[in-house]
Structure 1
Amino acid sequence: MDSLFKSHGALTFPFTAERIYSLSMEDRESRLRINDMNLDELLCLNTSDYLWSSDDENGCMSVLDLSNKVVGLYMCYDGGYLTTINFFHEKCKAKGLEFEIVMVYMPFAGPVKWLQSRVNEALVKHEISWWVLPFNDKVSRRLSRLFSAYYHRNDKMIILGPNNSFAEKLGLEVMCCYGIRGYPFARECIVDRKFAKLRSVTLESVLLIISEEHNYYVLDKDGDRVPVSELLGRNIILYLDYLDPTPIAQVYDQLVNWYPKLKAKDPEFEVVFISYGAPRGIVDERYYKMPWLSVPFPSGHSEHVNIKQLFLEWEDKYPTLIAFGKDGLLRSRRANLHLKLDGIDAFPFQGYLRREMFLDFNELNHFFY
């Protein structure tokens, strides 16, 4: 009951089972509709209502006018991201990119007046001009439930597209990760751009960059040279991993099991190992017994690959299987996960790439929290 009161406030009265059930159902319905909600619904306002500027110089703007713009709904928990958001807001204005900030006080770290005073002082100090919703306990608690701000206890920003065209729950995370390049700070827009770039990456472009000093060849299990040109027109998996002995070598062990099954399904299929190097200076003996092809190492480390073209900005190097189709185009950046979930039926990984990217972008939550 205590946690329910904290999240719903006076709405829990008269504290009966029926009331609690009713509140739970209301929240459930709201979450199901969250991507279709417009600014006035989220703020419990009418479209004819007005929001006032934080600096009293820019006057006011109607909720209806704001709804026609890209709006960042800044749920200010402690003001920790206030200057960061203002930095990108100013960058957008300087480039003529339409972007308005609406700030909502989320006073869950202390008394309401204390938070308002602290945030207002910061707004004045940094000469920030945003639209501000006067504190409304009902609205703040409702937003915290819809977007889990109360439980994370961190500032959040929801990006609302013009005329309710999209709602991005990870607006702050996208902004901090991509900066002004991420405008309008929605994952779907970033995915579209990144997907287009990844679709231009070919097996040949990756392997030729790696193998340039080796006259464009890789090595088979016996150490004999195999020209990169012989891999074109075939289903290929690039196996990226560290050379160090590790107590857990899941991808390696799984690939040893999958490799003969994949070869049985497609005799022309092949795996090419690319080393991340051996940070501890020791090479696991297993890598000298690999049944598949490999880029010559130690000189064939992944620094010879343009890693940025294969991975997202915040990702570190990790063991993975990257699949290319017979057309030489990228099919999957997480082929090992699909093989683990769907078995050999996942091969040759048609239609996975775009879906993977949306799942990868959900990791932004963990990246920040």
Structure 2
Amino acid sequence: MEEESASRLAAIDGRELIQVDPVQLDLAADFSLKRRRPSTLDRAYSDRTLRLLATKASFPNVSKCVQQNIKFAVLDTFFKDTSELPDPRAIGKEYKIGSYFDTERPVYSESLLRVPNVEVGTQLNVLELLGDTLLGFNLNVPNFQPTKFRCYAGLCDPNMGALWGFKPGKHSHNPQRIQPPRSRTACKENVNIESTLILKGKYVMICCVYVPSIWCSTNGPNVYHTALASHELARRDDFVLVVVPMMREGFTHSRSAYLHFLSGFSCYAVPFHDSRRREYICSALGFGGKIKVMILDPSLEVRYHGSPCMFQQFGGAEHDCFPFTPERLNVGVNCHFVLQDLSLNELLGLSDTDVLCNISKDARTTISELKQKFVGIYVCSDFRSLEEVQEVHKECRRRKYELEIVVVGCPFDMLLPPKLHEDLIIGALASLKLLGWWFYPFNNTLSLRLSQMRDLARYEEGLFIVDPIEKYVDPYGLQIITDFGMDYYPFTRRNVVKKELQRKMGLRLSSLLLPWEYLCRKRDSSSSIVEVSLTEVLKNKIVVLYLHNKETKFLADKLAAWYEKNMKRKHSNFVEVVVVSIGDGSMGTSDEDLMDKGWFVCRADPSKSAKLCDEYFHPLCAPHETLVAFGEDGRIQSMDPNHILESQFPPFHGNLPEQIARQFDCAGSFYMRRYDYSLL
């Protein structure tokens, strides 16, 4: 029997049970069975459990217990409904089913000895491989060629988003699924019969995959991302995706499991009845249980053969990556720096005349209007930053700082169907009365693009700041606010560095050393120590200021060798080294050793050195051993010890913006290293 009705499955061990969720009933029965009789994975789950999970929890569905678990474990701040607490046993059972699926490997018929040799660079007769007929699933969508910055905005799923009639605050408790674009055909299964001749002259991706698939298996993420990309790729007229389902043991005769799986894709597929053909293709591609794809170009040359893991990084509409061969993917990986120099409409893939609505749908704005303002794109994943973004927005309004918030969903971390994730977003925003924020309906390519730009924190939440004046996008707005505060509006790394550069360039060496009226130095011909006025030391001199702790003088020997080799003989008349101890303690023999090198030393004084540190070091950067070069005008020339020690002669001008960014990076703000500050 292919499937049993829920009413018949309500009888377990000969007892009649009340009508409840059949998945929960069957899971309970299996747990009871396992308590009585331990068994292997193959025997631990009844056929009816696997069949129910195939429709209730397998791709493209997400089961009710998973939805409850997400709401309770991740979103309990916003969803306080405790009447539907997650069942940990059911969740655990799904993980065990995923593990069970992971152990399964295909066993090919011995008669399949002569299959094509699939290797990158070889030619392959794809029409002969696939046969005469394919079934088309969910392919009735507009076709057009993408341009570089077009993301198929609003076309990924007409059933999703505020622009297509979401009702805020109303959440479905039915199993959620990855929805393909709505069909225009009358066929209720949205399936068309097509000839393989349609593949001629196009790029062809053949995808072999085990069916059914479950979200918590090792195949789950790749299946999920490939399905999302398929809806975008279906809009190209030069690309065809052909899915070849390999039916798992126990599902070889389940046409409904086949149709259920493919309902989550926009693709062609080898017909269910042609099981021999499907096995033949999977054998040729070397399918071993994990999803595998092959990409052929229009000349039928194999360009790629392996996992579709590229779709975890790039959407199907990412122009630079098409046709997703390794060469094109390298271009996509390297372009996230370029993406920082985009306007709002270029980043979102929208034209000036496109419109965004707020979640309440009582206000709208064109992109041409919005791109004239400072915009914060809130990339929303698990809502952990929602209240922080709310506070930032509120404080900006109080200070009369311009900041428009656009919400973009990123459901990838939890592998949620976009429709379910958008429902949760709307519910969370409604609970905080934030329905006036602008809302961007789910777009797979855009969400992955934004995640790629934040390569240090992929899939985590973020606030992208779009600067309309400098046409610049900074993906680390939230981190900047956390580290530097509201005074660093508009919360971009470029502004942080500019602000710190302005502060540093306002410093003067004479002011930093003012508490020391006199500096100490040894006479050339004796060991006696003399005091020289600060004014005399600094007059018309280039000075290398050496800040050190008594316990950590790692730069002392390098500085001495550099001074002896490059400065002492040639430039000692106008290059001086001044040493300041920024730790506790009094002047000791170690300071005398520094004076032996011909350097000026400031007498140790904790209060004076603390004042110098407060003035020189940013609060985010704790006082530490370093070198700073000052010009004859008392302004900073370089703050990088490596740059100074590599200089053979003065002056010591360095790239100050880059050096400032590196200091913040060393202080723990790792995102500061991800921008080319030489452009400042």
Instruction: Give the TM-score normalised by the residue count of structure 2.
Output: 0.47
Pair 1:157-2:486 in alignment? no
Counterpart of 1:237 (choices 540, 544, 549) is: 544
> Is 1:344 matched up with 2:648?
yes
- Separation of aligned partners in 1, 2:350 and 2:473: 18
| Alpha-carbon distance in structure 1 between the residues aligned to 2:222 and 2:449 | 12
Partner-residue secondary structure (3-state), 2:336: helix
Q: 1:225 to 1:282 in 2, by over 3 A?
A: closer
Q: 1:366 — aligned with what?
A: 670
Counterpart of 1:197 (choices 495, 503, 506) is: 503
Q: How far apart in 1 are the matches of 2:368 and 2:468?
A: 11
Q: State whether structure 2 residue 481 is matched by structure 1 residue 219.
A: no
Q: Report matched runs for 1:71-110 at 5 Å.
A: 71-110=375-414
Contact 2:453 2:475 survives alignment (8 Å): no
Equivalent-residue separation in structure 1 for 2:627 and 2:452 (angstroms):
38
Secondary structure of 1:20's match? Answer: coil
Match 1:10 to one of 229, 251, 263:
229
Partner of 1:329: 635
Matches of 2:380 and 2:542, distance apart in 1: 50
Unaligned runs of 5+ in 1: none
1:189 Cα shift?
3.0
1:33-44 correspondence to structure 2 within 5 Å: 33-44=338-349
What amino acid maps onto 1:357 in structure 2? I
For 1:61, what is the secondary structure of its paired residue? strand
Q: CA deviation at 1:69?
A: 0.7
Partner-residue secondary structure (3-state), 1:265: coil
Distance 2:614 2:427 in 1: 41
Rate the CA distance shift 1:332–1:231 in 2: closer, same or farther, 3 A.
Answer: same
Tell me the distance in 1 between the aligned counterparts of 2:490 and 2:347: 19
SS at match of 1:250: coil
Asked which structure has the greater CA Rg, the reply is: 2
Match of 2:577 among 260, 271, 292: 271
- The CA distance in 2 between the partners of 1:4 and 1:251, in whole Å, is 50
> Cα distance 1:39–1:205, how it changes in 2: closer, same or farther (>3 A)?
same
Displacement of 1:30? 4.6
Q: Which structure has the higher relative contact order (CA within 8 Å, separation 6+)?
A: 1
For the 8 Å contact 2:591–2:601, the answer to whether it is kept is no
> Measured at CA, do residues 31 and 153 of structure 1 come closer, stay the same or move farther in structure 2, by a change above 3 Å?
closer
Greater shift, 69-78 or 198-207, is seen at 69-78
The offset of 1:15, in angstroms, is 4.1
Residue aligning to 1:254: 558
Q: 1:274 to 1:103 in 2, by over 3 A?
A: same
Q: Matched residue of 1:344: which SS?
A: coil
> In the alignment, which residue of structure 2 is the partner of 1:59?
363
**3-state SS of paired residue (1:140):** helix
Q: Deviations over 1:136-172 (max 9, x none)?
A: 22321232224326x5442222211226632223333
Give the Å deviation of 1:230: 1.3
Per-residue displacement from partner, 1:14-60 (whole Å, max 9, x unpaired)?
64235322751662575364134222232233332222224x17522
Once structures 1 and 2 are overlaid, which stretch shifts more, 317-326 or 159-168? Answer: 159-168
Which amino acid in 2 is paired with 1:34? L
Instruction: Give the structure 2 partner of residue 296 of structure 1.
Output: 603
Cα 1:147–1:299, aligned 2, differ >3 Å: closer, same or farther? closer
| Higher alpha-carbon deviation: 133-142 or 119-128 | 119-128
| CA displacement at 1:4 relative to structure 2 | 7.9
Alpha-carbon deviation of 1:327? 1.3
SS at match of 1:264: coil
Alpha-carbon distance change, 302 to 310 in structure 1, aligned in 2, over 3 angstroms: same
- Inter-CA distance 282–219: structure 2 relative to 1 (3 Å threshold): closer
- Structure 1 residue 368: Cα displacement: 9.2
* 1:133–1:81 distance in 2 versus 1, CA, 3 Å: same
Deviation of 1:271 after TM superposition, in Å, equals 1.5
Once the two structures are superposed, residues 79-125 of structure 1 have per-residue CA deviations (whole angstroms, 9 ceiling, x without a partner) of: 33222222221121122222111121111221435654554444233
* 1:300–1:344 distance in 2 versus 1, CA, 3 Å: farther
- Show the counterpart of 2:352: 47
2:329 is the alignment partner of 1:24: yes
CA distance in 2, matches of 1:46, 1:367: 30
Higher helix proportion: 1
1:206 aligns with 2:512: yes
> Structure 2 vs 1, CA of residues 353 and 265 (structure 1 numbering), >3 Å: closer, same or farther?
farther
Residues of 2 paired with 1:164 and 1:267: CA distance? Answer: 44
- Does the CA-based 8 Å contact 1:78-1:115 persist in structure 2? no
